[in-house]
Amino acid sequence: MPEESIDHIDFDELNKKAISKPLVTHIYTADPSAHYFDGKIYIYPSHDIDAGEAFDDLGSHFAMEDYHVLSMDSIDAEAKDNGIALHVNDVPWAEQQMWAPDAAKKDDKYYLFFPAKGYDGIFKIGVAVSDSPIGPFTPQPKAIENSFSIDPAVLEDNDGNYYMYFGGLWGGQLQRWRTGEYNAQNPDSPTANLPEDNEPALLPFVAKLTDDLLEFAEKPKEIEILDEDGNLLLAGDNNRRFFEAAWMHKYKGKYYFSYSTGDTHFICYAIGDNPYGPFTYGGRILEPVVGWTSHHSICQVEDKYYLFYHDSSLSKGVTHLRSVKMVEIEHMEDGHIKTISPYKN
């Protein structure tokens, strides 16, 4: 929801209408990546702070420094904050902006994947490893080779392969990588290098991970998001095109790629038959929340699916002080997902 509209919000009323409550209220958390590991729910969120940075369209005010892992013994249990799992000061290659992370489990190890800006101001994606799902995580000395941009989301497929989906526009820098090299021109412009409205929209990327989950096993490939006629969504189709917040879940053998539309604030999804796509636009999962960003994950717990998302209701609309929430979602008979409104009318 755009910043300018929050002046009119009565937050007491809004909180009464909210379909769910923040999972924790003693810290601000956002961009929740939820997983069901070993019979418990683990949530890997961003840890929002107010670092005093000015607001801008590059997201400089999202100046996060560390990650805390939340855990829930069951879907009805209270969420527990397990403290600092990784701090930027412990990551040799990263200088600032620990944005939306994800995690994966392989054998007895847990892997935290995270984007951060290096000392050159360029976002890369790193990985850190732990024996425990709550950390602490030990980072690799360097970022993943050939990684770029933000918002990693890792799918463990049924055949044992792991795939990372990633990318984000504006401050997430995806538009700076159109030639395969980082374009440093117009450093303060979030929109320089974007396609024209009548050109195909920029696409997110996917790369299979190596067996040790520490590197890409292949050059990242774009994944196509198509409309109902089989055409790529256009850059000017702001209500449907990919912006950031990639996520992948599977349902009845189909691959559901979900994402945020950024400046129009929807969480949408597209359906495909394999991890590389193409994916056909399927609709909206979540209508806009309070706060500019919308970012989510979908986690299967036994036979139910839950949407983890965030809003800025606890901070009364401060866009970079968000709170993680959760609600059950429904896949309908035809495979589509029922759209959720975060606040009742």
**Residue ranges in contact with ligand FUB by CB under 6 A:** 30-31, 46, 59, 62, 99-100, 150-151, 168, 244-245, 293, 295
**Based on CB atoms, which residue is closest to ligand FUB, 111 or 243?**
243
Least distance (Å) between residue 56 CB and ligand FUB: 13
Using CA atoms, how far apart are residues 214 and 164, in angstroms rounded to an integer? Answer: 11
Least distance (Å) between residue 301 CB and ligand FUB: 23
**Based on CB atoms, which residue is closest to ligand FUB, 295 or 325?**
295
| Helix or strand run (H / E) with residue 342 | none
**Based on CB atoms, which residue is closest to ligand FUB, 152 or 220?**
152
Least distance (Å) between residue 182 CB and ligand FUB: 18
Question: What are the DSSP E strand ranges found in 158-226?
Answer: 162-166, 205-208, 221-222, 225-226
Using CA atoms, how far apart are residues 246 and 313, in angstroms rounded to an integer? Answer: 23
Instruction: Count the residues in the chain.
Output: 345
Burial bucket for residue 98 (CB in 10 Å: 0-12, 13-18, 19+): buried
Residue of 151, 224, 244, 311 marked catalytic: 244
Residue of 31, 48, 102, 311 marked catalytic: 31
Least distance (Å) between residue 59 CB and ligand FUB: 6
Sheet strand arrangement including 225-226? 225-226, 279-286, 267-272, 254-260, 244-251
The DSSP call for residue 27 is S
**Based on CB atoms, which residue is closest to ligand FUB, 41 or 324?**
324
Active site residue 31: yes
Residues with catalytic function: 31, 244
